[in-house]
Chains A and B, each alone.
Chain A
Amino acid sequence: MADVENLFRSYVAQHRAGEDPSEQDLLSQVDGTDRDELAAMIDAYLERAPRRAWDAEAFEASGSAPFVHSVARSLEGSAGLWPTLLPRLRSRARVARKDLVAELADRLGVSGRRDKVESYYHQMEQGLLPAEGVSDSVLEALGAIVGESRDALRRAGQSLGTAGGPPGADAAVFARTATGPVPDEDVAEVAAAASSMPADEEWDDVDRLFRGG
């Protein structure tokens, strides 16, 4: 049986050298109280470990960029945490987006307008659709599919109020004026979404479900 102190010191040395030590590999070498002790020591080290210094190339290689963009959309958009939460819930529920959209359309009684439901759902995931306009019926149906309550989805959609995101029907204005922190492709997407939205008097059932509150 390996010695806990040596394993811990080896872990710290590797991590501080920028290597990628495997916690599970180390823990597999001990059991019982030794295992608990080693895990607690590693955890305490990580709690105090210095954060990684910024390295643009390493960041790109880390695969964290999509997560960062979803967080940015949450902070800058008009749908609170939906850009980060909805894809995660969908993934957790092991539901492909096209299947989710089909199920959502069925549950909402608009199976014939699946394309439009898909467009709105996409906007929800991108943080482009103002959350307050999305009806309880949609959240109820969506929650049943991904295993989350309507109220939790509603709370998650509340604006974080950290920046002037797309202000409801003025999304196109935001798209024209947004600069700097919002990636160009997001601006283009907001503009496209806004231009595809019908005027209020042209709303159908699907529009009312996703925009009528």
Chain B
Amino acid sequence: MTLALSVLVFGYLDIVTRRVALKVPPADVDDVAHEAILSAIRSAFAGESIGEFRAWLNRITLRRIADYHRKLEGKPKTVPLLSGDEEDDAGWGEVPTTDFEGVRVDAERAIETAYEGLSEAHQRIVDAYVFADRPASEVASAEGTSEDNVHQVASRFRRRVRELLEDGDS
């Protein structure tokens, strides 16, 4: 089991940690990321997860980030005076952090909304060209369309995301 877990954790921890780092102060990133991975693995082993592991992990990650911010409300922001080895029994202390300039916790909804507004063909174009960084010529060929159209679809998608963010209507 340990090898299987290692493969799973190695495969996803970096991605989850980076997602958490966008919205959580550095001192708490590992904590929240580990909690998300653990929750997803636990659910998978207990047969409680819905759909494939990756989709479940994505959902759990957002939930843990939201939980973090809910718990944080009203609490002073602190970071450990000492960091690193948990087994180090030297004393701990607390100092106030400088403000962490996080991003909107719900910013991803703008992407979801804009993405869901696309046709399936255009979603494939956005997936391949915008998020998988494949060349426009290759995407155009795969989708039987022109490079110009690929650029236009991507551009419309980005414009829609921006509108939603500006409106706060995402």
Give residues in A with beta carbon < 8 Å to B: 5, 9, 12-13, 16, 23-24, 27, 33, 35-37, 39-49, 51-55, 58-59, 62, 64-65, 67-69, 71-72, 74-76, 81, 84, 87-88, 90-92, 94-99, 160-163, 181-183
A181 B111 Cβ-Cβ under 8 A: no
A188 to B86, CA, bound (A): 22
B45 CB contact (under 8 Å) in A9, A62, A75, A88: A75
A84 B86 Cβ-Cβ under 8 A: no
B161 CB contact (under 8 Å) in A37, A59, A99, A181: A37
User: B1-32: which have CB < 8 Å to A?
Assistant: 1-3, 5-7, 9-15, 18-19, 21-23, 26, 31
Taking CB as reference atom, which chain B residue is nearest A84? B38
B1 A24 Cβ-Cβ under 8 A: no
A33 B5 Cβ-Cβ under 8 A: no
- Interface flag for B120 (CB, 8 Å): no
A181 CB contact (under 8 Å) in B1, B12, B37, B88: B1
Minimum C-beta distance from A164 to chain B (A): 12
Q: Which residues of A lie under 8 Å from residue B115 when comparing CB positions?
A: 44
- For this complex, 12 residue pairs linking A to B, each with C-beta atoms less than 8 Å apart, are A27-B103, A35-B103, A37-B162, A40-B107, A40-B110, A41-B130, A52-B12, A59-B6, A62-B14, A71-B5, A96-B92, A162-B45
Q: Which residues of B lie under 8 Å from residue A36 when comparing CB positions?
A: 103-104, 107, 110, 165
Given contacts A46-B19, A65-B6, A75-B1, 20 further A-B contacts (CB under 8 A): A12-B131, A27-B103, A36-B107, A37-B158, A39-B103, A40-B107, A40-B165, A43-B111, A44-B131, A48-B127, A49-B131, A71-B37, A75-B45, A88-B34, A90-B86, A91-B80, A95-B92, A97-B89, A160-B46, A183-B2
Q: Which of B80, B87, B131, B161 has the most CB of A within 10 A?
A: B131
- Interface flag for B49 (CB, 8 Å): no
Q: Which residues of A lie under 8 Å from residue B158 when comparing CB positions?
A: 5, 37
A58 B108 Cβ-Cβ under 8 A: no
Interface size class of B (residues with CB under 8 A): 35 or more
B10 CB contact (under 8 Å) in A55, A72, A96: A55
B91 A52 Cβ-Cβ under 8 A: no
Minimum C-beta distance from A79 to chain B (A): 13
- Interface flag for B51 (CB, 8 Å): no
Taking CB as reference atom, which chain A residue is nearest B126? A44
Minimum C-beta distance from A97 to chain B (A): 6
Given known A52-B10, A94-B94, contact A23–B22 (CB-CB < 8 A): yes
Given known A12-B133, A88-B34, contact A54–B7 (CB-CB < 8 A): yes
Q: Which of A74, A87, A98 has the most CB of B within 10 A?
A: A74
B34 A67 Cβ-Cβ under 8 A: yes
Given known A12-B131, A52-B11, A54-B7, contact A68–B2 (CB-CB < 8 A): yes
- Interface flag for B42 (CB, 8 Å): yes
- Interface flag for B60 (CB, 8 Å): no
Minimum C-beta distance from A52 to chain B (A): 5
Q: Which residues of B lie under 8 Å from residue A5 when comparing CB positions?
A: 158
Q: Which of A53, A71, A76, A92 has the most CB of B within 10 A?
A: A71
A42 to B20, CA, bound (A): 11
Given known A71-B9, A98-B89, contact A42–B1 (CB-CB < 8 A): no
Instruction: Kindly list the 6 A-B residue pairs having the minimum CB-CB distance in the complex, ordered from nearest.
Output: A51-B11, A94-B92, A39-B103, A181-B1, A40-B107, A44-B111
Taking CB as reference atom, which chain B residue is nearest A97? B89
Minimum C-beta distance from B108 to chain A (A): 5
